[in-house]
């Protein structure tokens, strides 16, 4: 089935799979013209239909804050049953709020504490307005809140999944565990009756604030006996408890004001649920000062910068940690956007690499080896958000929110334009992939493989694509291509070997399980690939590894895409590199000074590459 028929205002509309914007466990969202979207449920209950009809019937959408993307008109199936609603279409540049809790994202996009506080103030204003209308959000979390880039004035947020809000006696049927008030943990069915309150909303808001500013959950860190986050929440053992090991990637708690820390203790340490006073954020914003040495913002009443009051520890080359030897390959004052290994040559197997670095809006291509930087080529100046690929001696540049792929010849001392092509999109982002020899893109419903010949891009069709529903990934080890087709919520993953042999299989997701994030890890031997998924089933988050002819593997939570080896999966954590093999988990090395959960690790013939925001390491066993 490639089309859905809906009835809106007595007129029939056909929704094509190319119009699909998002597919989840509850339903699908399609584009409807340039400025509207339509949400179609997989199935609707009588209670859902009644709630929607009442919401639209009293014109609730017109009374809500502009940030709230609320149901506007009912849609029906040809049999006259309510199956969904229309709503305002969210801006294409909007990003999920959870990205702001990623330190690398904040650094790359130059988002400091003042900008983050401005977004939180906007959310506070909207939440207060919702409560004044008698509406409780219930499932308030960083997945259904979005933000517009910082050039929007004032900083603006967008709220989705409004149909689940609790109001007028209608319950909110869903919740995300990490934002759920611990007093509601015993409840198993949130759809039976209204259980959320303004207090539980303010609890979730403060969780959001802490995650955004401190980069960790209020009950984060590790504890010797209460090992899970929920156990610490139930026992009110917070991040600031003396027995909790504070996460290394988190910002120090002293960046918060004393008033915010006191409120932290009231809510998470003593279990109180007061409204969040708006003056706490206003006073905090006015108190911030910027450290001239490291650039961190913190309250001016602090005697020194919470981060750099002591000299920063910089690991030395070849220093050992646990069973791994860490070699510092690259350090930059900017941000490492991407790296590519150089194929085997006369200098040895993969001893050299390219790195794309951004510093003060200048993008540069660095050529380096095991002993340091060999050459650096300035490319262009631009805002964060450019995406890149490298094949042969040509760099692919994709500008933000554009379908164009600029091909630059980087074989000389300066970059030269070699061509420009367009490609299709997946969820609003241009689809392309590169391997050591080829550029892959999508055009006219086909997957094209291109190679530079006599200064021009020569392409051939190697497969079919679904319009705006196919994603691609390329290996940096050899010319293996991986991809994914999404057809009305069904996902099919494929791996194409350099010789053309292709394996394809459907993802065995559970009913109602929706995909939140996905990425591909290519095996270091260059022969296979694994699809890493972050999914949501009701209020439970799951992490999976899928590979051809293998059963799905459940993984512990991960930040960046893990690395896959022939017999194991490696996941960076704040305690070191976690080796996951079958149901057994072991630490490869207690290397917390070298790794954190936000790092990207990649297989390398000599060990592992650990890519951080400003440093690149080679870890050898």
pLDDT at 26: 84
pLDDT of 591 > 60? The answer is no
Looking at residues 598-621, what average pLDDT do you find?
86
> In degrees rounded to 5, what are phi and psi of residue 620?
-115, 140
pLDDT at 584: 65
Reported as a single tens digit per residue, the pLDDT across 167-194 is 999 999 999 999 999 999 999 999 999 9
Nearest of 106, 201, 97 to residue 143 by alpha carbon: 97
Superfamily holding 95-299 = Transferase(Phosphotransferase) domain 1 (1.10.510.10)
The rounded distance, in Å, linking the Cα atoms of 324 and 394 is 34
pLDDT at 315: 42
pLDDT at 453: 93
Looking at residues 603-621, what average pLDDT do you find?
86
* pTM recorded for the entire structure: 0.84
pLDDT of 459 > 60? The answer is yes
Q: What is the dihedral of CA 448, 454, 456, 461, to 10 degrees?
A: -10
Give 57's contacts (C-beta < 8 A, 6+ positions apart): none
pLDDT of 311 > 70? The answer is no
Reported as a single tens digit per residue, the pLDDT across 392-442 is 999 999 999 999 999 999 988 889 999 999 999 999 999 999 999 999 999
pLDDT of 592 > 60? The answer is no
> Out of 168-177, 276-285, 339-348, 573-582, which region has the weakest mean confidence (pLDDT)?
339-348
Extract the tokens encoding 405.
């792929």
pLDDT of 590 > 60? The answer is no
pLDDT at 331: 92
The rounded distance, in Å, linking the Cα atoms of 203 and 541 is 20
The rounded distance, in Å, linking the Cα atoms of 482 and 495 is 4
Nearest of 246, 243, 233 to residue 204 by alpha carbon: 233
CATH number at 3-88:
3.30.200
| Cβ atoms 419, 441 nearer than 8 A | no
pLDDT of 382 > 90? The answer is yes
* DSSP reduced 3-state for 62: helix
Tell me what percent of the residues of the chain surpass a pLDDT of 90: 58
pLDDT of 345 > 50? The answer is no
pLDDT at 589: 56
Give the DSSP H/E element, type plus range, for residue 283: helix 278-287
pLDDT at 317: 43
pLDDT at 154: 60
Looking at residues 22-46, what average pLDDT do you find?
90
First-last CA distance in the chain: 51
Query: Where do the CATH 3.30.200 domains begin and end in the chain?
Result: 3-88
Reported as a single tens digit per residue, the pLDDT across 125-177 is 999 999 999 999 999 999 999 998 765 556 689 999 999 999 999 999 999 99
pLDDT tier for residue 313 given thresholds of 50, 70 and 90: very low
User: How much of the chain is in helix, strand and coil states, percent to nearest 5?
Assistant: 15, 40, 45
pLDDT at 323: 62
Report the mean per-residue pLDDT for the chain. Answer: 88
pLDDT of 349 > 80? The answer is no
pLDDT at 547: 85
Higher pLDDT, 1 or 463: 463
pLDDT of 503 > 50? The answer is yes
Give 158's contacts (C-beta < 8 A, 6+ positions apart): 67, 69, 90, 91, 94, 145, 146, 147, 148
Reported as a single tens digit per residue, the pLDDT across 213-270 is 999 999 999 888 898 999 999 999 999 888 888 888 899 999 999 899 999 999 999 9
Which long-range contacts link 108-111 to residues 24+ away (Cβ below 8 Å)?
Answer: 108/335, 108/337, 108/358, 108/384, 108/613, 109/149, 109/150, 109/384, 109/385, 110/150, 110/384, 111/150
Reported as a single tens digit per residue, the pLDDT across 54-80 is 999 888 888 899 999 999 999 999 999
Give 339's contacts (C-beta < 8 A, 6+ positions apart): 353, 354, 355, 356, 602, 609, 611, 616
Tell me what percent of the residues of the chain surpass a pLDDT of 70: 92
Reported as a single tens digit per residue, the pLDDT across 528-541 is 889 999 998 877 88
Query: Where do the CATH 1.10.510.10 domains begin and end in the chain?
Result: 95-299
| Cβ atoms 333, 614 nearer than 8 A | yes
């Amino acid at each position: 089935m490639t089309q859905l028929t809906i009835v809106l205002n007595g007129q029939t509309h056909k929704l094509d799979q190319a119009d699909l914007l998002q597919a989840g466990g509850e339903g699908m969202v399609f584009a409807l013209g340039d400025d509207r979207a339509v949400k179609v449920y997989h199935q609707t209950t009588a209670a859902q239909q009644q709630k929607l009809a009442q919401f639209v019937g009293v014109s609730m959408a017109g009374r809500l804050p502009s940030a709230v993307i609320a149901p506007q008109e009912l849609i029906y199936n040809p049999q006259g049953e309510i199956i969904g609603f229309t709503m305002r279409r969210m801006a294409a540049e909007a990003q999920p709020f959870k990205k702001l809790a990623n330190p690398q994202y904040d650094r790359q996009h130059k988002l400091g504490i003042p900008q983050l506080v401005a977004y939180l103030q906007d959310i506070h204003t909207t939440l207060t307005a919702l409560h004044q209308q008698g509406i409780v959000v219930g499932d308030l979390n960083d997945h259904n809140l979005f933000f517009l880039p910082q050039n929007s004035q004032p900083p603006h947020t967008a709220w989705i999944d409004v149909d689940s809000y609790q109001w007028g006696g209608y319950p909110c049927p869903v919740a995300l565990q990490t934002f759920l008030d611990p007093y509601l943990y015993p409840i198993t069915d949130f759809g039976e009756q209204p259980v959320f309150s303004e207090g539980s909303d303010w609890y979730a808001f403060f969780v959001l604030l802490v995650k955004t500013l401190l980069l960790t959950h209020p009950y984060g860190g590790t504890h010797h006996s209460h090992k899970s986050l929920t156990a610490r929440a139930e026992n009110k053992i917070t991040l600031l408890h003396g027995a909790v090991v504070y996460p290394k990637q988190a910002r120090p708690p002293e960046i918060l004001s004393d008033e915010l820390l006191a409120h932290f203790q009231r809510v998470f340490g003593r279990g109180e649920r007061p409204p969040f006073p708006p003056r706490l954020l206003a006073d905090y914003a006015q108190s911030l000062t910027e450290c001239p040495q490291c650039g961190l913002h913190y309250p001016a009443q602090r005697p020194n910068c919470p981060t750099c009051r002591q000299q920063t520890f910089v690991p030395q080359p070849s220093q050992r940690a646990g069973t791994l030897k860490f070699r510092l390959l690259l350090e930059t004052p900017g941000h490492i956007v991407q790296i590519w290994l150089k194929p085997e040559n006369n200098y040895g197997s993969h001893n050299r690499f390219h790195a794309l670095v951004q510093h003060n809006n200048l993008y540069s291509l660095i050529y380096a080896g095991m002993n340091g930087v060999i050459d650096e080529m300035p490319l262009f100046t631009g805002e964060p958000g450019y995406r890149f690929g490298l094949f042969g001696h040509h760099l692919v540049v994709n500008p933000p929110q554009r379908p164009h792929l600029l091909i630059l010849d980087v074989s000389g001392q300066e970059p030269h334009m070699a061509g420009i092509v367009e490609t299709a999109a997946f969820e609003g982002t241009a689809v392309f992939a590169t391997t050591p020899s080829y550029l892959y893109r999508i055009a006219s419903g086909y997957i094209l493989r291109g190679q530079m010949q006599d200064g021009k891009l020569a392409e051939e069709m190697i497969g079919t694509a679904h319009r705006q529903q196919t994603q691609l990934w390329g290996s940096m080890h050899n010319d293996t291509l991986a991809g994914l087709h999404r057809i009305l919520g069904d996902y099919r993953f494929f791996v194409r070997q350099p010789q053309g042999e292709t394996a394809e299989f459907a993802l065995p997701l559970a009913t109602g399980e929706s995909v939140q994030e996905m990425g591909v890890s290519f095996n270091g031997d260059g022969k296979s690939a694994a699809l890493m998924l972050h999914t949501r089933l009701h209020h439970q988050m799951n992490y999976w590894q899928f590979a051809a002819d293998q059963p799905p593997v459940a993984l512990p939570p991960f930040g960046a895409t893990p690395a896959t080896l022939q017999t194991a999966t490696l996941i960076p954590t704040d305690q070191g590199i976690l080796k996951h093999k079958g149901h057994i988990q072991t630490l490869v090395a207690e290397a917390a000074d070298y790794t954190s959960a936000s790092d990207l690790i990649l297989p390398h013939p000599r060990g592992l590459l650990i890519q951080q925001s400003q440093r690149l390491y080679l870890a050898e066993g």
